[in-house]
Amino acid sequence: MRVVTFGELMLRLTPPGYRKLVQAESFEAAYGGAEANVAVSLCCLGTQAEFVSKLPANDLGQAALNSLRRWGVQTGNIVRGGERLGVYYLERGASQRPSNVVYDRAHSAIAQASAGEFDWPAVFAGADWFHLTGITPALSPELADICLSACRTAKEKGLTVSFDPNYRAKLWSLSDAAAYMRRILPYVDVLITNENQAADLMDIRIPQTEINGDDVTDRGYLFLAHELQKNHGLRYVAIAERRTFSAEDNSFCAKLYDGEALCTSVKYRMDIVDRIGGGDAFAAGLIYALREGFSTQEAVSFAAAASCLKHSVEGDSSPLSAREVLSLANGSANGRVQR
């Protein structure tokens, strides 16, 4: 059985080092996108994964496709055609200057996709899990409907559906995203979110009595997870807790609620090499752990460790093995040279 993900794969162009875009005279090229990152990370963890999308039938589209195949991602249901490959430019942040993303993805192949190009019953044959994010439905009204159709079919076929709202203010408004949440959440089994998205997109807010500055009490997170599960019939609610001290200095931990207990991971303090893809590595780690039968505590510990380690790797996706992630999840966090 395999995991299926659906979304856009883009060309990522990054100025060398910490140059701003206005200073750039050359760019480092890579390929990535939220759902593709999850598929790559899952393959590296040892899980069969397939990525579904639409890519242009040109050399750039082929290069993007090859970037997935090198990691073992299945690509047999990727549609070829459309005008162009989407591009995004990443300006790495430093100190108190945040990273910045500029999108050039209008009229990309996936944004022009039509419902008839994806045979979801065939795609889901031999699969047991479907993952997507809120980025894909933000790209076009047609894609929003395609995502809903995919989720309906996945549920009919008995797949587990995981969803990360992954709100992008540069792609759609809060009101449009919130309206879409009401349409898609009835099909979701595993929700991956944070307290801000829960408030802005799902209108569930932690009581102020459980908030002290940037800190939220365990009772506050338990309230949030319980309300999300109760309102939307979810099997699991995962809540990421990130605190940003500077572009290179963040803390990260996570909570996982299974309807009975709220389990919490270790809180990691991270010196960041590459911020992009940290949430996707968390999603992949969570999917891997739940499919492998980990307990709720083991699953959230593994997923948080996967996210933490991704921040030490350049590029969109995480090439880390399950052994490496388990080592950190089990407490080996000294960073010593392995000989």
Cite the active site residues: 280
Look at the block and give the residue holding tokens 């001290």.
Answer: 245
Detail the DSSP E strand segments found in the chain.
2-6, 10-14, 28-32, 49-52, 54-55, 79-80, 87-91, 100-104, 127-133, 160-164, 190-193, 211-212, 215-216, 236-244, 249-257, 262-264, 268-271
Q: Tokens at residue 130, please?
A: 């479907």
> Cα torsion for 241, 13, 73, 275, to the nearest 10°?
-20
Look at the block and give the residue holding tokens 């790797």.
Answer: 313
Report helix, strand and coil shares of the chain as percent, to nearest 5: 40, 25, 35
The distance of Cα 288 from the centroid of its chain, to the nearest Å, equals 13
C-alpha span between 51 and 36 (Å, rounded): 6
C-alpha span between 51 and 176 (Å, rounded): 26
Residues paired with 87 in a beta bridge:
11, 104
- Taking residue 96's Cβ as centre, other Cβ atoms within 10 Å add up to 8
Instruction: Kindly report the three-state secondary structure assignment for every residue of 155-224.
Output: HHCCCEEEEECCCCCCCCCHHHHHHHHHHHHHHCCEEEECHHHHHHHHCCCCCHHHEECCEECHHHHHHH
